[in-house]
Amino acid sequence: MKLIQVFIMLIGLMSGGALQAVETINVAISAAPNSMTPFYSTDANSQNINRLIHSSLVDFNDSMQFVCVACETFTDKMSTGKQIVTFKLRQDLTFSDGTKVSAADVKKSFEYFARDEKIKSTFIGTFESIENVNVIDDHTVEFVYKNFSLENVSNLSLLKIVKLKNGSRELIEPMDVIGCGEYVLKNIHPLEILVEPRKVGKPVLVFKVVKDETTLALKIINKEIDLSVANMSPRKIFWMKSRPGIKVWNIPSANYQFMGINHKRDLFKDVRVRKAFSLLIPRDDLLKYKLKDTAVLSTGLFSPTFGEMYDKGDVEKYDVEAARKLLAEAGWKKSKKGFLEKDGKQMEIDWKVSNNKASIEVVEVLQHFFEQEGMIVNVSIQEWGTYMAAFKTGKFDIVIGQWVGFTGPDILKYAFHSTNTPPKGGNRIGYNNPALDAVLDEATIETDPVKRTALYKHALQMVNSDYGYINLWHPNIIWIGRSCLSDIKLESSGSFYPLKTLEKNCGK
């Protein structure tokens, strides 16, 4: 049967010899996964689909806390300077070929992901802090780390428990990998991926790539797509809400959108200039008129989802007079022609933005507000790969950036520590603050959770007061689908886990 025909019905044998039609749910995603082989999947779509097929020991719940997936319990302790994490596996866990999952399988999976030179997993570096993996008994496995890190347990969400089919070692294909998740990968086409549930009666999920949001909206209305988890502009979401037969699920996310400023540029070395740019952003109006209330304004990198790490401070208010005063104090004066100048040089901004429609609309609004104050703003719209290359190599003055999928305060070191500039880390803005480095270094090795949280909160306050990033908002997770779908409890991480309980009651 051709994949495109799968909606006609998949037929399975039920007990007593009766035939039953299996429901299919067509799910739209905005981009094709980069790899459905778990050793190489790095983008959000491939990670999220693989979460359904391949279980990890732990993952994150809606409050961004560690929870067991393939384990029943786990314990964490320090011994002679080493961090030791011990997992008790679920005894009902099986691979999709029916064999039981054992502690030896977990150790073997670790070797595939972190040691196998033939596989050359993308995540080898992620697990380099693991000194040893010990099988205690059939259902108990122990991870020994060289030293303590908050990242040690969180990184295990990337370690999938897998088996490889015989002979599948030189070139690993997605179908060569046997998982122990609730779904099995059945078909991969360039624009479609089909996963089949292991449990009888659950719907088949067909992920369809739809890049254009207008096409996507029409496909939902025409019932070609049942549910969209793809990106859609606030304007299109607002329009879709008014259509009959459409249901919208909406939850504040853990993601963070910001204005990234290049700290290596002379213009932005003065904190007064950085703060002035922040004061010139009409956040409330943007939220209401451009974002259509599909986000939560940000007071820092962490959304309310992160509990203790959430900064309950005030959102920066639009204040033109205060911004003008700061710019003047920093030496920027308006010329007779109305342009900001300092030492005979005009303020000219190189602003890079991806070709995401929603991002472009926000940049166009901000460009207008900045140019009103005498700045020359050159906006360059680039396809995603070109944009990211410019961002990572520092070839910009300003960007609109977004952190997606981070799980805790260790993101602060990755994004702001002076040693984490690309290609090693995520400090793409070239931020350099030795005092912050010292606090982050101390937090990284602190084993007391209360003291560690206090250090990370202090680091966050340092970043905010120094305008490391200019805070914007936390975009909501928004899924749109047909009203005949069952209710969904979204997760703030944007995970596809809610699909596991989704039902389709659309009649014949």
Q: Any residues with CB less than 8 A from the CB of 273 and at least 6 apart, and which?
A: 267, 326, 327, 330, 332
Query: What is the band of 6 on the pLDDT scale with cuts at 50, 70, 90?
Result: very low
* pLDDT score for 506: 84
Same domain, 143 and 271: no
Q: Any residues with CB less than 8 A from the CB of 130 and at least 6 apart, and which?
A: 110, 114, 143, 144, 145, 146, 152
Which CATH number is 392's domain given?
A: 3.10.105.10
Same domain, 289 and 143: no
Residue 403 within any structural domain of the chain: yes
* Boundary-marking domain end, from 161, 179, 208: 161
Residue 205 within any structural domain of the chain: no
Asked if 176 and 168 count as a contact pair (C-beta separation under 8 A), the reply is yes
Tens digit of each residue's pLDDT (9 = 90 or more) over 82-118: 999 999 999 999 999 999 999 999 999 999 999 998 8
Same domain, 157 and 267: no
* Boundary-marking domain end, from 123, 146, 161: 161
- The mean pLDDT of 485-502, rounded to a whole number, is 93
- The mean pLDDT of 337-360, rounded to a whole number, is 93
Dihedral sign computed on CA atoms, order 65, 66, 68, 72: negative
Same domain, 131 and 276: no
Which CATH number is 82's domain given?
A: 3.90.76.10
* pLDDT score for 167: 59
pLDDT above 60 (res 9): no
Same domain, 297 and 435: yes
- Count of domains observed in the chain: 2
Asked if 316 and 405 count as a contact pair (C-beta separation under 8 A), the reply is no
Of 60, 36, 33, 69, give the one whose Cα is nearest residue 50.
Answer: 36
Q: Provide the 10 A C-beta neighbour count for residue 75.
A: 10
pLDDT above 80 (res 20): no
- Phi and psi at residue 275, in whole multiples of 5°? -65, -40
Residue 96 within any structural domain of the chain: yes
Dihedral sign computed on CA atoms, order 322, 327, 330, 333: negative
Of 7-16, 19-28, 56-65, least confident by mean pLDDT is 7-16
| Domain range enclosing 468 | 256-475
Tens digit of each residue's pLDDT (9 = 90 or more) over 439-493: 999 999 898 989 999 999 999 999 999 999 999 999 999 999 999 999 999 998 8
* Boundary-marking domain end, from 161, 188, 206: 161
Would you state the structure tokens that stand for residue 55, as one six-digit string? 């279980």
Would you state the structure tokens that stand for residue 345, as one six-digit string? 């040089």
- DSSP H helices, 343-382, are 357-372
pLDDT above 80 (res 358): yes
Asked if 208 and 27 count as a contact pair (C-beta separation under 8 A), the reply is yes
pLDDT above 50 (res 2): no
Q: Give the chain's mean pLDDT.
A: 91
- The mean pLDDT of 145-170, rounded to a whole number, is 87
Query: What is the band of 22 on the pLDDT scale with cuts at 50, 70, 90?
Result: confident
Residue 247 within any structural domain of the chain: no
For 100, half-sphere exposure in the C-beta direction (CA atoms, 13 angstrom radius) is 9
Q: Any residues with CB less than 8 A from the CB of 4 and at least 6 apart, and which?
A: 192
Would you state the structure tokens that stand for residue 224, as one six-digit string? 């070609």
Tens digit of each residue's pLDDT (9 = 90 or more) over 242-275: 999 999 999 989 999 999 999 999 999 999 999 9
Asked if 467 and 398 count as a contact pair (C-beta separation under 8 A), the reply is no
- Phi and psi at residue 48, in whole multiples of 5°? -70, -40
Asked if 457 and 442 count as a contact pair (C-beta separation under 8 A), the reply is no
Tens digit of each residue's pLDDT (9 = 90 or more) over 398-443: 999 999 878 889 999 999 999 999 988 899 999 999 999 999 999 9
* pLDDT score for 169: 64
* pLDDT score for 168: 56
Would you state the structure tokens that stand for residue 505, as one six-digit string? 């009651």
DSSP type of residue 287: I
Residue 24 within any structural domain of the chain: no
Asked if 11 and 19 count as a contact pair (C-beta separation under 8 A), the reply is yes
